[in-house]
Amino acid sequence: MDTDEEVLARARHDPAAFEPLVDRHSAALHAYLLRRCGPAADDLLSEVWLTAYSRRADFRVVEAGTVRGWLFGIARNHALAHWRRHTPRPAPDSAPHGDDTWDAVDARLDAARLRPALRAALRALPDAEREVLVLTAWEQLTPAEAAQTVGIAAGTARSRLHRARARMRDLMAGHPADRRTGPPSPLVLKGVQT
């Protein structure tokens, strides 16, 4: 399978060659936009692909890094523009739920108990740290790709990520719904890890 960079290089001269990028990255980009912009994610994803397609000849690996980071950078710019046009940034929400096995149900209940504290802790982070943390934790970007997305040096992204994780640990420590301090789940007592 060709790398994203090879596909994009071919797409400069062959517009149909761009399609594999859409297939590979649409789900992740849509999830990113959905968590940040809610129902507008579908329209924003279309704008992301139109922008990426129109700028496909401008991408340079040396300057831009990975295609994935470049695409997330475009998505971020569209999300920021959406926030400026509409309401303040919505609080991050959880991903859609999967199947209903007991372990998954227990994990969702624990997550639901932690959600308010987690949202408050995320809001307490400085914007720059929160953004790098969210890009690496939710979007599964590497720190280098998160740096590329935000437009900062990779070392700066790693530093922000380290500080954000430390702050989150401090902010969440001792929360009653945090399993480390609260009563253990009955399933954990039976030896089932959730």
Kindly report, residue by residue over 108-141, the tens digit of the pLDDT.
666 677 788 888 888 899 999 999 998 998 888 8
Domain 4-85, CATH number (from 3.30.1490.190, 3.40.50.620, 3.40.50.720, 1.10.1740.10): 1.10.1740.10
pLDDT at 83 over 90: no
Q: How far is CA 174 from CA 4, 62, 105, 129, 180, in A?
A: 44, 45, 23, 22, 8
Sign of the dihedral through C-alpha 47, 48, 53, 55:
positive
- What pLDDT does 155 receive? 92
More confident site: 50 or 1: 50
Sign of the dihedral through C-alpha 130, 135, 140, 143:
negative
- What pLDDT does 117 receive? 83
Q: Look at 59-63, 72-76, 124-128 and tell me which has the smallest mean pLDDT.
A: 59-63
Task: Read off the pLDDT band of 182 (50, 70, 90).
Answer: very low
One-character DSSP codes across 17-53: GGHHHHHHHHHHHHHHHHHHHGGGHHHHHHHHHHHHH
Question: Rounded mean pLDDT of the chain?
Answer: 79
Find out whether 31 and 12 touch, Cβ atoms under 8 Å. Answer: no
Tokens of 37: 């912009």
- What pLDDT does 130 receive? 92
34-58 average pLDDT score: 92
- What pLDDT does 122 receive? 87
pLDDT at 27 over 90: yes
Q: Which amino acid is at 154?
A: A
Length of the chain: 194
Architecture of domain 102-189: Orthogonal Bundle (1.10)
Q: Find tokens 């149900």 and name the residue.
A: 105
- What pLDDT does 28 receive? 94
Task: Read off the pLDDT band of 185 (50, 70, 90).
Answer: very low
Q: Find tokens 């761009």 and name the residue.
A: 18
pLDDT at 87 over 90: no
pLDDT at 105 over 80: no
Q: How far is CA 66 from CA 35, 84, 110, 154, 164, in A?
A: 23, 27, 36, 13, 24
pLDDT at 179 over 60: no
* Count of CB atoms situated within 10 Å of the CB of 193: 9
Alpha carbons 190 and 103: distance in angstroms, whole number? 12
One-character DSSP codes across 133-178: HHHHHTS---HHHHHHHHTS-HHHHHHHHHHHHHHHHHHHTT-TT-
CATH 1.10.1740.10 domain residues, the chain: 4-85
165-177 average pLDDT score: 80
CATH 1.10.10.10 domain residues, the chain: 102-189
The proportion of the chain whose per-residue pLDDT surpasses 90, expressed as a percent, equals 41
- What pLDDT does 61 receive? 64
